[in-house]
Structure 1
Amino acid sequence: MTPSMAVTSKSITLYIITHLCLVSWVLSQQQETEFLHHGFLKANILNYGSTKILPSGILELTNTSRRQMGQAFHGFPIPFTNPNSSNPFSFSTSFVFSINAPGHGLTFMISPSMDFTRAMASQFLGLFNASNNGNSTNRILAVEFDTVKSNEFLDIDGNHVGIDVNGLVSVESAPAAFFSNRHSKNITLKLSSKDPIRAWIEYDGEEMVLNVTLAPLDISKPKLPLMSRKMNLTEIFNDKMFVGFSASTGNMTSNHYVLGWSFSREGKAKEFDLTLLPSVSAPSPSELDDFDLISDTPSDSATANAKGTKLIIICKLVIMFFMM
């Protein structure tokens, strides 16, 4: 083989490797719009404040300390605006949480930033502070699971769920409850019972409707949501947003836990295999006899877990080798 042929062969090989790396990186980024975590030991999660991942895999947002706050985010921003439509993308998320005492609550949030250093604990839930609460520039959508009644935010009681836009005066709220498919009525849920609770938050981009649904962990998804709100999220969201959780304590201490998290920007979020979730506590069998027990559990699915970053490093090493 002549030197020129060797150079040409090397260039072709380098081109193919670069192209394959680029395609693989794009695919890995696409996977980051969907994930499923049974516990968080291997999850691509960024923690702030008091948040930590326990050896069991539970995501602990606050521990037994007063006036604490913690946040946790999926490690990559997710596109939420659709360049081919005036409607925002649909999304679906489900997570399992546990709160062992009323003080103050937990939120699922979608935010343009992961910087909450100016946020406050107590009634501000680790999201806002006294000066920025309610500002349209916040561009934050949150669903709060509030265990303390704050009169300044017009809370309906000390055990409610609320939809928040840029502030803590909820645009819609309801006492915590789930609809029993068997009995065709709402059953009250105590958010701070320590018993695991599953939440579904689903947005239909075509209809522009946000649904929030709750149920005890071992109860099948209710046919009716707790809340349904017409919302145009293009008025709130940037092109890319971060998804995550926040929680805070005030004068009373409380453990705010997340046991599992499923998210999909398009389509239905994947179901949990309940046997794979870390355990805090479970309702007694007698509490579940009259409700809608789940009879089957689906299989697990793998998550991306920062594969894109690892792939880039490997590709760079291979390219450097061929350039030597």
Structure 2
Amino acid sequence: MSMLLLNFLFVLLNLPVVLAAGVDQFVYSGFAGANITIDGVATITPDGLLDLTNAHQRLKGHAFYPAPLRFLDSTNGTVKPFAVSFVLAIHPNYRSSQGMAFFIAKNMDFSSALPFQYFGVFNSQNQGNSSNHIFAVEFDTVLNMELRDVDANHVGIDINSAISIQSHTAGFYNDKTGSFNNLNLTGGEGLQVWIDYGGETARINVTMSPLGMAKPARPLLSAIYDLSTVFTEEAYLGFGSAAGMDGSGHYILGLSFGMDRPAPAIDISRLPKLPRVGPKPRSKVPEIVLPLATASFVLAVGITIFVLVRRHRRYAELREDWEVEFGPHRFSYKDLYYATQGFKSNNLLGVGGFGTVYKGVLPKSKLEIAVKRVSHDSKQGMKEFIAEVVSIGRLQHNNLVQLLGYCRRKGQLFLVYECMPNGSLDKYLYHRDNPGLPTLNWAQRFRIIRGVASGLLYLHEEWEKVVIHRDVKASNVLLDREMNARLGDFGLSRLYDHGTDPQSTHVAGTVGYLAPELACTGKVTPLIDVFAFGIFILEIVCGQRPIEQDTREEQPMLVDRVLEHWHNESLSEIVDSKLPGDYDVNQVYLALKVGLLCSHPFMDTRPTMRQVIQYLDCARTSPELTPIQTTFEMLAVMQREGFDPYIMSCPSSMTASILSGGR
């Protein structure tokens, strides 16, 4: 009985402490079974190591404490004192390895962050923007002159930018002599870091030492900066990393945090072991058995080579029986390798959450292709996945990117598409990464709207199955040589038979385009594509993103800003100011109206894609919009009236006050 009590107390003492007002403190001595949110290439090893790069090259990895932390004091708005401690290590494969960063940020969305010197946390476009709301401490192992690095082995304090407000060569001060001792960030050994913020004093101290050594009295870095100008009401604590050319391992072994108190001590004895650095020590073989051991080794090597060669010849071209029916859709890895010149960086088109895309030319047919490389560690569901790939590959429409086939090699999948030379639509709307691109005129924009609508109608009603795309947005619309729209990236799509009830699934898609009913039902229907298409129309006409990142905006949602201008009869003010030349005002206003109809929060009030095309072609009179409230105001009114907008359609009395004229 006493042993059970001791075990219970041990588990209880090692749990993170959570209070009603928010997280007060927590400690992780290793991450095996820990509740940690990871994305990108980050992973937790079976031993409990938090590996931010997982030996990948040029890809980002993040890890977050899953709950938001309340740093701001509600009485005076200042940041409360806090302390963080963690143990890090960087495997010393090559000196080209980039470093990592600890950060506290307003959210967990780092999709726009860049790898390499930006640690997967910042990017080159928003350097120094106060709207970033990011405090970070970087551990940089490469000298980047454009970021004003002091050397290739330093620690820096970053505020909203990868350019540090203060930095210093990595190391610690000896308490007895006061002398400075260097620490090698890429030495492959564990290093302990302490970050302390003084609250009202606004002093930031960063201290580090070799693992097992007591915290030095003198910090490595010390700066005065009021973090209340950086932190939002809720913030997330995490780590970011982006491997360099070698894909070296970037590890976090333990983590602790304290609010209004010191960070709890990390139990060093419970930390996971780091991977071995360098070759294993060779055992000394007694001279008397050395000849025998050598002969045995040579024989074993010979047998091993014979078995491997025989196995290679036998299985080199072997494919599983169930793949025979998918044969015409399978590409050889050799052809894709030569088409992309060995997947060289010069052929890289982009890196996204679902894989890396390369351009290429097939060696025999000379067909231009785009190859998406996706890692796939699980063999479960592989047959169903490839069957779905082949099904989508049978889609034939002028406004859909053609999926040509797939290739499967070891733990990787390769999806092969026809290449779209003009890239994605969002680059032309926002001139991302290429300010020299031309601005689309209204005729081009309307043709793109009409084309995507036609593609969605084909997916919803005209193909043999119902296909729900689930990720309609500007970055997934590609432009061919004639600037015609092609809807692509079916990575989230779902198929089901006509006339059947779709099954519920987890919420997936892009924030800003998600239909409100998904939050409650999770049921995937064509109307969620209609909602996203409505937001897509408003985005094209207004040249603005669905959600304004600047939180100072009174109307952060684009649909609410359009509604406000619709009420005020000032639509000309919301139309994209960059729109060149004269354009048909009535056609522009019609597009805005259709966009508002499609993005209606009531799913049953939205039109079908066939009706949308009829509206756009003026083959059917669109319903009249009466003055309505913004989305949030309208939802509040409906909830007070006892209607749940996410799972119920509008009752007739409320429908009449919102929309008249029928569909």
TM range (shorter): 0.7 to 0.9
Alignment of 1:152-167 (within 5 A): 152-167=146-161
**Residue matched to 2:116:** 122
Whole-angstrom CA distance in 2 between matches of 1:281 and 1:92:
29
How big is the shift at 1:60?
0.3
Instruction: Return the letter of the residue paired with 1:272.
Output: I
Indicate whether 1:237 and 2:231 are aligned.
yes
Residues 1:151 and 2:142 are matched in the alignment: no
Which residue of the partner structure matches residue 451 of structure 2? none
Aligned mate of 1:36, from 21, 27, 39: 27
CA contact (8 A) 1:177 1:187 kept: yes
2:190 alignment partner AA? P
Report the equivalent of 1:51.
42
SS at match of 1:278: coil
Can you list the C-alpha shifts for 1:164-193, whole angstroms capped at 9, x where unaligned?
000111000000011122332110000010
Structure-2 separation of matches of 1:31 and 1:37: 18
Q: Are residue 217 (structure 1) and residue 230 (structure 2) matched? A: no
Contact 1:88 1:233 in 2 (8 A): yes
Q: Secondary structure of 1:206's partner?
A: helix
Stretch of structure 1 that moved more, 72-81 or 31-40: 31-40
Contact between 1:209 and 1:230, CA under 8 Å: does it hold in 2?
Answer: yes
Given that residues 195 and 281 in structure 1 are in contact (C-alpha distance below 8 angstroms), is that contact kept between their aligned partners in structure 2? no
Partners of 1:118 and 1:129 within 8 A in 2: yes
Whether 1:64 aligns to 2:55 is yes
2:171 paired with 1:177 = yes
With 124-133 and 228-237 compared, the bigger mean Cα shift is at: 124-133
Deviations 1:268-322 (A, max 9, x none): 0011221111111699xxxxxxxxxxxxxxxxxxxxxxxxxxxxxxxxxxxxxxx
CA distance in 2, matches of 1:85, 1:61: 37
Which of 162, 165, 187 does residue 168 from structure 1 map onto? 162
State the AA in 2 paired with 1:192.
Answer: T
- SS class of match (1:162): strand
Structure-2 change in CA distance of 1:242 and 1:88 (3 Å): same
Instruction: Give yes or no for contact 1:196–1:281 (8 Å, CA) kept in 2.
Output: no
Structure with more relative contact order (C-alpha pairs < 8 Å, separation 6 or more): 1
What is the TM-score when the length of structure 2 is the normalising length?
Answer: 0.38
The code of the aligned residue for 1:233 comes to L
| Structure 1 gap ranges (5+) | 1-25, 284-324
Q: Which moved more, 1:197-206 or 1:128-137?
A: 128-137
Residues 207-248 of structure 1 show CA distances to partners (whole Å, capped at 9, x for unaligned) of 110000000002111010001100101111101100010011
Q: 1:114 to 1:27 in 2, by over 3 A?
A: closer
Q: Does structure 1 residue 262 correspond to structure 2 residue 253?
A: no
Separation (CA, whole Å) in 2 of partners of 1:130 and 1:250? 17
Tell me how large the CA RMSD over aligned residues is: 1.8
Contact in 1 for aligned 2:18/2:25 (Cα 8 Å): no
Q: Compare CA radii of gyration and give the structure with the larger one.
A: 2
Distance apart, 1:131 and its partner CA: 1.2
Alignment partners' CA distance in 2, 1:278 and 1:155: 32
Aligned position for 2:99: 105
Query: Tell me, what secondary structure is at the counterpart of 1:72?
Result: strand
User: Matched residues in 1 for 2:45 and 2:231: separation?
Assistant: 32
Question: Which of these residues, 267, 283, 303, is aligned with residue 273 of structure 1?
Answer: 267
Partner SS state of residue 48, structure 1: strand
Q: Deviations over 1:150-170 (max 9, x none)?
A: 111011110000000001110
Structure 1 residue ranges (4+ consecutive) displaced by more than 6 angstroms after TM superposition? none
Please state whether the residue corresponding to 1:33 is helix, strand or coil. Answer: strand
**Count of matched residue positions in the alignment of Structure 1 and Structure 2:** 258
- Does 2:79 correspond to 1:85? no
1:18 aligns to what? none
- The CA distance in 1 between the partners of 2:117 and 2:201, in whole Å, is 32
Identity of aligned residues (%): 38
* CA-CA distance at 1:30 after TM superposition: 4.7
Looking at structure 2, the residues matched to 204 and 36 of structure 1 have their Cα atoms a distance apart, in angstroms, of 20
Q: Are 2:137 and 2:157, in contact at CA under 8 Å, matched by a contact in 1?
A: yes
SS at match of 1:272: coil
1:27 and 1:162 map into 2 onto residues whose CA distance is 30
